[in-house]
Structure 1
Amino acid sequence: MSHQVVKERNRVHKERVDLANKALEQASAAVAEGNYRLYYHLMPPAGWMNDPNGLIYFNHEYHVFYQHYPYASKWGPMHWGHAKSKDLVNWEHLPVALAPSENYDAGESEGYGCWSGSAVDNNGVLTLIYTGHVDGRTPTEVQCIATSTDGVTFNKAAYNPVISDAPEEGGFGFRDPKVWQHDGIWYMVIGYGKDGLGKALLYKSSDLRDWSYIGVAAESDGTMGDMWECPDLFPLGNGDDHVLVISPMNMGTTKTMYLIGRLSYETGIFDYRYSERLDYGFDFYAPQTFVDGQGRRILIGWMNIWGAQMPEQEHGWMGAFTLPRELSLSDDDGTLRILPVEELRAMRGTHHRVSNLSICADTEVPLPEIHGDALELIAIFNTNQSAGDAEFGLLLRCSEDGSEYTEVSFSAVDRKLSVDRNHSGVGEAGVCEVDLNPLEDGRIKLQIFIDRSSIELFANNGLKTVTNRIYPKPDCLGIKLFARNGEVSLESLDAWKLTTEG
């Protein structure tokens, strides 16, 4: 391809990016800070946001890209939004990074765009690897590259697409490349499905340009969906263990899973021995991980779900990301532990503590000193000193008349942790639950982050997580403790009001 052609293509891409940024600037001016806008979560300044893309620690800063439609608060031709942070708490929005501009990522209908992917540091060049998607074209999905030397302005490679088709015909989807390097070789895992089975396909390359197909790294056993979106395969822990995170399609209420096993780089096979749902809330999808400068494996997910009511759309924006979460493997059973990153403690402001409180059966205990829509709570209940059949927990974002609240409860009989949002305001209702055994000392530990229109729950030191969006009235700020069917012992409740520099 001639230099002149490449220059013209870069000009067209820049023109599309500039149009997107202009539209975003105009739309942002109309978005009110109220109406469910979050205080300390990453969300778009305006327009639509879904999957996190291109998570990377680059030049001593955290970069997050995301699926973005800057022209309206609905899904449309996908662009890549971009934000960065020095501390994982305060985020700076940067110009749109990618816009559809080529025959492999732009078309006539709305079904086109720069779909999900990942990012790598290739000797100081920030390189994005993404899926170009165009409905009605054959093939519909191809894998593409864009690069930047300043971390802000990106040019699409003249030799795109770098992978021009799926390895065989008859598949369902071929998207969401996640790339990493091992022993000097680049590897890519791509989401795929065939014959009703979700699959993760593995490729390798020496230069990020020429890719060779290795094979199917892992596939469903018949119970894990018919296409695996957003696969992410990575080592974790001090041994040879690898984790594969997937977002399986058509698997009912299960929207994300993780598999633990061993990856053979010789055969390309990921032999997994354990699988489980990754998050048990309603609003968690398409998570992606990266390694930061401290060697931590950090995960961020989309804090929404396809097909749900999205009340914030009426206010010119849609979508948010979860808090950054650090992943580790438990020393006890080798399963995944997920905890909020340590940097979030910097948000802690005014502190209140309640200690050694007995909650009588069938009562609610208001906590007038603890209230707000931006809080961190850490509650520890002692089941050894509670009635054996008690159900207990917290009521969050309570209205003064008691008509609105979100209930977090633990049933000692069923050993189930539940989040009930049937009285949480507008938006989706429903109850989500997860099996949870008390810790060895009989305690139940609940760490909860409340942020205006979201609740993130980390149970028993990251053993289980539950993520939900809620949309209560602005004046629903109360917090209560409760017990049913027996007396309950609250060992401690620590509460902090949360603030950021911004």
Structure 2
Amino acid sequence: MLTTNGIQQATEAVEQAKKKVNNRHRLGYHIMAPANWINDPNGLVQFKGEYHVFYQHHPYDENWGPMHWGHVKSLDLVNWEHLPIALAPEDACDKDGCFSGSAVDNDGELTLIYTGHHYIDKERDLFYQNQNIAVSTDGVHFKKVVENPVIEKPPADSSHHFRDPKVWKRGRDWYMIVGNSKNNIGRVILYRSPNLRNWEYIGVLAEGNEQLGYMWECPDFFELNGKHVLLMSPQGIKEAGDHFKNLFQTGYMIGEYEYDKNKFGHGEFIELDYGHDFYAVQTFLDDKNRRIAIGWMDMWESDMPTKKDGWCGALTLPRELTLSADGKIKMVPVAEVTQLREKKLSAIENQTITSSYEMGVQGSMFEVEAVLEVTNAEKVELVLRGIENEATVLAYDKSTNKLRLDCSKSGKKKDGIRRVKLAASDQLKLRIFVDRSSIEVFINEGEATMTSRIYPTEPYRSVEFTSCSGKSLLKKATCWKLKDIWNEK
């Protein structure tokens, strides 16, 4: 049975660590732990009218380690409140880590379904994994069930990679998918249960090939506009031009699913975001019938300068998913994020740009919304300018229809550039969120997104629009100062 010692000790450790955190890169309106390490979002759910987000958390160090579940909640997806750590690895079912998973509202009982991690030989990274459950009636304090592990081991043809359960209900039955691997090929496997305790293995829901990685982490499966979507985070896909540039990827497949046959006919794997720092995305359906996604806003083996400041890792803004007419997922910030707008810093309409035009910013937490007509220009740039040579650049090349995000002068000196190809158009719509050490770019109302961590040394001073080899028209541009929900000084 669960004891409270692990959670109490972890909570005390975080409280002590908070006192030593350097706030220079701390985010103002994104989900972070109070101190030390976080990665994957877990257990996204709406419970008794409140939004809950859990996350992988190491409360004792700014580096990855034995995973706990950190916890925040919100009434509006904007203003978040830290809650006590929900899970600690202190029981036989999860002694070396409470790995990623999901959450469901089971008739007023908030149920967390997660992976227990167990080392056989830590030095050689030999381990096994199982699936477990913890429950709560108040949404704050959790008790692990006596039936744990509810799934003791993977199917016989599986590798030891067996993690990240995502659970949903259909009719009277609960379904669970788990990230898995067979012969170094990533796949997602399916279980069914009448009661969340007794699980029957159904089979393989989807599997890849040599080109799609050796393991599919953090799977999610849901309906969107009449289609079925499999989201997952493959490990081991090789870089291909402007695609798959990060160490690991997050993307999706769309198709038709037959429950009675466990048959998922789907299309190709498509990347979900084209920035540097976006992984392990999870979604949930809220009471407004929106499919909302949140991801980890970092990437394995990347430079993480905040470790020197006593913390590491953050989550993205909540994003609403829809399906476009051409069968691709579109992502936009949830409507509630407009509540972050504290003050309008500048605005302009119908400004012809022959060379450049500059708007004042003076800050490190702001939103820019811009619409550019690029009929007569070969290239246009939007440059967030800081002191000296610091800058974050968005450049659109009409000849290739590619948008380039260049963070090489804002803290990513190595591998600082990412590109995404857009549909041909004479208009470019951008919505940009800057938050001290992050940038999230939403392009053409969700056609593409680019998410990256950046580390400028000083606040930005201006937004500069530049037109190359011809005129462009800045139809409108507005910049807002955004509020700091954490108020960390």
Q: TM-score range, shorter-chain basis?
A: over 0.9
1:5 match: none
2:110 aligned with 1:126: yes
State the Cα distance separating 1:104 from its structure 2 match. Answer: 2.8
1:349 match: 342
Please list every run of 5 or more consecutive structure 1 residues that lacks an aligned counterpart in the other structure.
Answer: 1-8, 107-111
2:189 match: 201
2:178 match: 190
1:308 touches 1:428 (CA, 8 Å); kept in 2? no
d(CA) in 2 for partners of 1:383 and 1:31?
45
Q: Which amino acid aligns with 1:159?
A: E
State the Cα distance separating 1:219 from its structure 2 match. Answer: 1.0
- Choose the corresponding residue for 1:480, options 442, 445, 464: 464
d(CA) in 1 for partners of 2:186 and 2:469?
44
1:311 touches 1:426 (CA, 8 Å); kept in 2? no
Residue-pair matches, total: 473
2:287 aligned with 1:286: no
2:423 aligned with 1:437: yes
2:99 aligned with 1:115: yes
1:246 match: 232
Q: Which amino acid aligns with 1:20?
A: A
State the Cα distance separating 1:99 from its structure 2 match. Answer: 0.3
2:359 match: 367
Please list every run of 5 or more consecutive structure 2 residues that lacks an aligned counterpart in the other structure.
Answer: none
Tell me, what secondary structure is at the counterpart of 1:100?
coil
1:402-421 residue pairs with structure 2 within 5 A? 403-421=389-407
2:131 touches 2:163 (CA, 8 Å); kept in 1? yes
1:393 touches 1:481 (CA, 8 Å); kept in 2? yes
Tell me, what secondary structure is at the counterpart of 2:338?
helix
TM-score, normalised by the number of residues in structure 1: 0.91
Tell me, what secondary structure is at the counterpart of 1:10?
coil
Q: Which amino acid aligns with 2:267?
A: R
2:56 match: 67
Q: Which amino acid aligns with 1:199?
A: R
State the Cα distance separating 1:196 from its structure 2 match. Answer: 3.0
Do the aligned partners of residues 454 and 428 (structure 1) sit closer, same or farther apart at CA in structure 2, a change above 3 Å counting? farther
Which consecutive aligned stretches of 4+ in structure 1 deviate over 3 angstroms post-superposition? 426-429
Could you tell me the percent identity over the aligned residues? Answer: 46
1:423 touches 1:429 (CA, 8 Å); kept in 2? no
2:10 aligned with 1:20: yes
2:311 aligned with 1:317: yes
1:460 match: 444
1:358 touches 1:489 (CA, 8 Å); kept in 2? yes
Q: Which amino acid aligns with 2:177?
A: V
1:88 match: 77
Q: Which amino acid aligns with 2:411?
A: G
CA deviations over 1:235-267 (Å, ceiling 9, x no partner): 111x2x111111000114531111111121111
Q: Which amino acid aligns with 1:295?
A: N
Tell me, what secondary structure is at the counterpart of 1:223?
helix
1:257 match: 251
Do the aligned partners of residues 350 and 174 (structure 1) sit closer, same or farther apart at CA in structure 2, a change above 3 Å counting? same
d(CA) in 1 for partners of 2:138 and 2:342?
36
1:90 touches 1:500 (CA, 8 Å); kept in 2? no
Do the aligned partners of residues 426 and 336 (structure 1) sit closer, same or farther apart at CA in structure 2, a change above 3 Å counting? closer
Do the aligned partners of residues 475 and 348 (structure 1) sit closer, same or farther apart at CA in structure 2, a change above 3 Å counting? closer
RMSD: 1.6
d(CA) in 1 for partners of 2:357 and 2:88?
52
1:408 touches 1:420 (CA, 8 Å); kept in 2? yes
